[in-house]
Chain A
Amino acid sequence: MKRILALLLAAVMMLSLAACGGGGVSLEEYQNQTQPNATDHSGKEVKGNFPVPEVGYDGSAVTITFAHTMGAKLQAVLERGIEEFNKLYPNITIEHSSYGGWSDIAGLINTEIIGGNQPNIAYCYPDHVAQYNMAWATVTLDELIASEIQVTRDDGTTEVLGLTAEQIADLQGGGFYEEGMVYGDGLMYTMPMSKSTEVLYYNKTYFENNGISVPTTWEEMEAVCKQLKELDPNCTPLGYDSEDNMFITMCEQYGYDYTSATGDEHFLFNNDNNKQFVKKFREWYQAGYITTEALYGAYTSGLFTELDASINHSYMCIGSSGGASYQIPANGAFEVGVAPIPQVSTDNQKVISQGPSLCLLKGKDTTDQQVVASWLFMKFLATNLDFQTDFSATSGYMPVLASAQDHEGYKAFLDMADGYSNLMALVIKVGLEQTDRYFTSPAFVGSSIAREQVGAMLAKCMSETTSDVDTLINNAFESAYKECKYHAG
């Protein structure tokens, strides 16, 4: 075995020597370089890395691939969309494939990028895009969006390759458009596709019977919790499903630092301001006002729908808008109300925006026509009202277009909204009313580590038994920060 080791080592040394003999840029140079700005056909420098070809889409036959995570039901909706799209562009063949869950898709695509087999369009979260960016594999959308080239469709009509002013306004009205620019370089990388947010679910029947008003601020929330605890000492008034979101949302609502996509220091959350609200929530937890998934040991939606008054149960739950179906109690035992989550102040109302977007990928062998065709399809998915509303009504995700509310079929869907079995529609309604509140935290390589760390830290600070709260909190912040720095500093 010793001999083998020696052999291996020798082979490696030779190999690595050979590797560096080949030239190339140093790692430092690569990191300091942003993606090279491209020049267009006339030699003019363009914004971002993709100059739109002069002809736009030339109508030629192209095959493009789309990687997503959709299950059977959503794939059916997607296929309906593809059918519609192909009526306009029959020469663009779309091969779509489900890559598994969220934990799978980013890893798979990262590997594919190395082999040059990446899909043309990926259904993704900002954290993923940041990774694709690191390999310079993404296509910036700025030039495509701004393009005024006319593209001829199969029925003889034309459309502008880019987005029209109305389309942009419609997308901005939906509240999710700016999310394409959370990467710190001012460039646009993604189009929103299907979005979710957090809402406050509450037991409307109980609230009405006891004359409790729904809290709109955290101050009111504290009072309501106190009131509920007095009415029903056996309850934990509020469940917050995700500690990660809780921490990030509080930073945003207070205007305190969390992370930054730019600058030398990404991780800004280790500050005294944040420790203050963490301390406050610790008090809430100790008083029995609040719990989270980790602290409770199971989904807090289960706590909310629990009907046995002799065990733990809650009257409010802050959870994902996509999880509405889990917040419905058995047999319609009570009416569920839905409200925006409480705020720190009415001047700076914030609620997290989640859910996948779409990005374009380009490898060495990807042709410009493929990119343009992919853009056309991506644009279709984001801006086609029929598709958006169909997708939303099936999935429970929110549509990304403000005009969705005026869509005939979708109106009927929203009109069915109630606090019982049609809770999904009710949640979407609330989501559509708070479009000015959405925020997305900065995305960079390592932003997902920060999410995980702050969530863990919050859970620890809220629950751990200690006589010295400040030391506990200081240490927890410090070690979370160190962990982030080690993995992504």
Chain B
Amino acid sequence: MVESKHQWKAWLYLSPAIILLLVFTVWPIINTVAMAFQNNYTAGLGTAKGVKIAYEIGVENFVNVLQYENFGQILKNTMLLCVATVPISTVLALLIAVALNSIRPLQKFLQTIFFLPYVTNSIAIGMVFAAMFNIIGLREGNTVADTWGIINNAIMLFGGKPINWINQGSTYWANMVVMIVYIVWNALPFKILVLLGGLQSINKQYYEAARVDGTSRRRILTRITVPLLSPMIAYVVITGFIGGFKEYSSIVGIFGDTMGPKSEPGRLNTMVGFIYDSLNAGTIGAQGKASAAALLLFGIILVVTMINLQVSKKRVHY
């Protein structure tokens, strides 16, 4: 397959992408790295008057980030959310996609429904979660409330004790469970769409052959569907991890800018949340700190992705 004389062709096909990436992605990345190594880099200082600032070159920004008292907590949140949500959402999406692909009646209808989240405003999603988990008017030793939220209503219906999920005085783990549910929920529609697309690209003849051979359903799933779909599964997992480490907006969706219950601001903060906070604070060194944090995050994601790619090289069937 190697045809060296056609090498230029590959580069030709790639050229539009490469040129645009160089301008709008690589250049900003280079700038990010540059900012990270200029001590206390602050964007915009003096620009309105044409004053230029010479920053010292060094690693102070990195030191600043690592010295942050809650850095460990941030790292832990980032990792936990990623590790917990990617497998759950992938397996669930795979099951849904396979099931959707296997049925005949109602298939179109159900496919349409699974598409609806795309045309749902994100504010609406946040609101629903509030209605599901938010307890309003908790008082008197936490035994009386005006509304317990839908989830607690269900728990109480089955005789369980209501749990303080996201409100004042809730535990870290309760918060985490809500975040995991929310992130999985958010991630599902895209993963279903991708996997369904992949399933529909699988040659029907494989299934026909399997049917003729009388292969069991489970065997079809594990021996035909999953292997043939493995490139898409690998895609969903790898990009899922990359996205998962950059989790941020979902936490704001539930907890608001405080990134935790009001009394515990920052309890669920993540790396990207930290980056945002730094940028928004707009204080001296904001961009320097944010860039350094981004590079640290880059390092983590890089390692994880390389492991992922290594695994997928062995497992993925092309």
A/B touching: CB–CB < 8 A: yes
Chain B residue numbers with a CB within 8 Å of A26 are: 53-56
Q: Is A330 an interface residue (CB 8 A)?
A: no
Q: Is B249 an interface residue (CB 8 A)?
A: no
B39, chain A: closest CB distance, angstroms:
8
Contact A19/B38 with A294-B262, A312-B137 known, Cβ cut-off 8 Å: yes
Cα(A12)–Cα(B291), bound, Å:
13
Contact A456/B258 with A16-B37, A136-B46 known, Cβ cut-off 8 Å: yes
Task: Please encode chain A, from 14 to 32, with 1 for each CB lying within 8 Å of some chain B CB and 0 for all others.
Answer: 0111011011111100110
Cα(A19)–Cα(B54), bound, Å:
7
Chain B residue numbers with a CB within 8 Å of A114 are: 43-44, 47
Q: Is B5 an interface residue (CB 8 A)?
A: no
B252, chain A: closest CB distance, angstroms:
10
Contact A1/B302 with A19-B55, A131-B282, A445-B284 known, Cβ cut-off 8 Å: yes
Q: Would you call A24 and B265 a contact (CB within 8 A)?
A: no
Chain B residue numbers with a CB within 8 Å of A151 are: none
Please pick, from B136, B261, B277, the residue contacting A298 in the complex, using a CB distance under 8 A.
Answer: B136
Q: Would you call B48 and A364 a contact (CB within 8 A)?
A: yes
Chain B residue numbers with a CB within 8 Å of A24 are: 51-54
Q: Is B218 an interface residue (CB 8 A)?
A: no
Contact A22/B137 with A456-B262, A463-B169 known, Cβ cut-off 8 Å: no
Q: Is A435 an interface residue (CB 8 A)?
A: no
Q: Is A135 an interface residue (CB 8 A)?
A: yes
Q: Is A465 an interface residue (CB 8 A)?
A: yes
Cα(A340)–Cα(B245), bound, Å:
49
| In the complex, residue of chain B having the shortest beta-carbon distance to the beta carbon of A480 | B265
Q: Would you call B48 and A110 a contact (CB within 8 A)?
A: no
Please pick, from B34, B43, B47, B278, the residue contacting A116 in the complex, using a CB distance under 8 A.
Answer: B47
A142, chain B: closest CB distance, angstroms:
18
Contact A1/B168 with A8-B29, A23-B54 known, Cβ cut-off 8 Å: no
Q: Would you call A22 and B168 a contact (CB within 8 A)?
A: no
Q: Is the interface of B mostly helix, strand, loop or mixed?
A: loop
Q: Would you call B48 and A12 a contact (CB within 8 A)?
A: no
Contact A22/B52 with A12-B37, A110-B44 known, Cβ cut-off 8 Å: yes
Q: Would you call B33 and A463 a contact (CB within 8 A)?
A: no
A183, chain B: closest CB distance, angstroms:
15
Q: Would you call B169 and A464 a contact (CB within 8 A)?
A: yes
Chain A residue numbers with a CB within 8 Å of B22 are: none
Please pick, from B29, B51, B135, B138, the residue contacting A25 in the complex, using a CB distance under 8 A.
Answer: B51
Q: Would you call A488 and B30 a contact (CB within 8 A)?
A: no
In A286-335, the 8 Å CB interface with B consists of: 288, 294-298, 303, 311-312
| In the complex, residue of chain A having the shortest beta-carbon distance to the beta carbon of B55 | A27
Interface size on B, residues (CB 8 A): 56
Q: Is B208 an interface residue (CB 8 A)?
A: no
A361, chain B: closest CB distance, angstroms:
8
Task: Please encode chain A, from 184 to 206, with 1 for each CB lying within 8 Å of some chain B CB and 0 for all others.
Answer: 00000000000000000000000
Q: Would you call A460 and B48 a contact (CB within 8 A)?
A: no
Chain B residue numbers with a CB within 8 Å of A19 are: 34, 38, 54-55
Q: Is B159 an interface residue (CB 8 A)?
A: no
Task: Please encode chain A, from 336 to 375, with 1 for each CB lying within 8 Å of some chain B CB and 0 for all others.
Answer: 0000000000000000000000000111100000000000
Please pick, from B44, B50, B168, the residue contacting A294 in the complex, using a CB distance under 8 A.
Answer: B168
Q: Is A243 an interface residue (CB 8 A)?
A: yes
B41, chain A: closest CB distance, angstroms:
9
Q: Would you call B30 and A27 a contact (CB within 8 A)?
A: no
Chain A residue numbers with a CB within 8 Å of B281 are: 445-446, 448-449, 487-488
Q: Most B CB atoms within 10 A — which of A1, A16, A106, A311?
A: A16
Q: Would you call A113 and B44 a contact (CB within 8 A)?
A: yes
B59, chain A: closest CB distance, angstroms:
11
Chain A residues near B (Cβ < 8 Å): 1, 5, 8-9, 11-13, 15-17, 19-20, 22-27, 30-31, 36, 103, 106-107, 110, 113-114, 116, 118, 131, 134-137, 236, 243, 288, 294-298, 303, 311-312, 361-364, 445-446, 448-449, 452-453, 455-456, 459-460, 463-465, 482-483, 486-488
Which 3 pairs from chain A and chain B are nearest by CB? A24-B52, A294-B262, A460-B263
With A12-B33, A243-B262 given, name 9 new contacts (CB 8 A): A1-B306, A16-B34, A27-B55, A106-B282, A114-B43, A134-B45, A311-B146, A456-B264, A488-B281
